[in-house]
Amino acid sequence: MTDSLVVAVTQIAPVWLDRHRTTAKIVERMQQAAAQGARLVTFGETLLPGYPFWLERTDGARFNSPRQKEIHALYLDQAVQIEAGHLSLVTEAAADLKLAVTLGIAERPADRGGHSVYCSAVQIGADGRILSVHRKLMPTYEERLCWSPGDGHGLQVHDLARFRIGALNCWENWMPLSRAALYAQGEDLHVALWPGGEHNTHDLTRVQAKEGRAYVIAACGLMRPGDVPADLPYRDLMLAETTPYWANGGSCIAAPDGSWVVPPAVGEEALLVATLDHAAVRRERQNFDPAGH
């Protein structure tokens, strides 16, 4: 077992609120990452089938709104139910490519009744097994209008080569106790999933790396007005306020000393590939271990 691990960060826009076509795009990017030697590939928060950007653009807090009911019904229809096999193409590709995957999904789990949506980080092993599903502990701000609160069951880490990998969804990366729960399990490669936004990743990624003495991957989505499908309900209303990006990316990788391995990529789809050295973790743990001395 060597200290080196090749990882890939996939910054893409979903085929928004279309589970089937976004899945095809994810599998294609997995193949590209594997072709560049990656053993782990990461994707942004709820990339499959997409982040609920409509909420702040369509008066999402309006109670008993027919408009909000229609959009939410579509979201439920396109959300991922793992028990129904909605991730089978991804898990099969992971096994074929011998590629571990961290993927953000909007999940409607059958064991919670199947009609509530959770922001979930799915960890898939290089053998295609789903290792864990972490449901975001507390949705952030307007996300509470369509996502349910999760729990701590998915706060788990998993081994890959010399590394122990953990993941948190979006604003959880600001929560000290969530981070500490992973540090205590020996996490030394952290995946922070974001819907996209350099403002989220530029500072915090390096802070997490220095605090955890770990590599930190910030995996972000991308969303532009042109990525909204032409046949989506209320598209004109969503696009009434012009802006070049709804989410401008910001994917990056920081080293255990807080330096950039890959600085934030902004404004375009990208596949970021880097080789991580576990010895760098061990060097930085000499003077600080966040769960030890």
Q: What is the pLDDT of residues 128-142, one digit of tens each?
A: 999 999 999 999 999
pLDDT of 101 over the 90 cut: yes
This prediction has a pTM of 0.97
Which residues are known to be catalytic?
45, 136, 170
**Residue type at 121 in one-letter notation:** A
Instruction: Determine the Cα angle at 182 with ends 184 and 117, to 5°.
Output: 150
Range 53-57 average pLDDT: 96
**Helices 204-212 and 176-183: angle between axes, nearest 10 degrees:** 40
Among 133, 33, 24, which Cα is nearest to 89's?
24
Give the tens place of pLDDT for each residue, 103-131. Answer: 999 999 999 999 999 999 999 999 999 99
Range 195-199 average pLDDT: 96
Q: In angstroms, how far is CA 150 from the centroid of its own chain?
A: 15
For residue 189, list its beta bridge partners: 165, 215
What integer pLDDT is reported at residue 241 of this predicted model? 85
Ranges of beta strands (E only) in the chain are: 4-11, 40-42, 100-107, 118-124, 130-135, 158-160, 163-169, 189-194, 215-220, 249-254, 260-266, 270-277
φ, ψ for residue 6 (rounded to 5)? -90, 125
- CB atoms near residue 70 (< 10 Å): 13
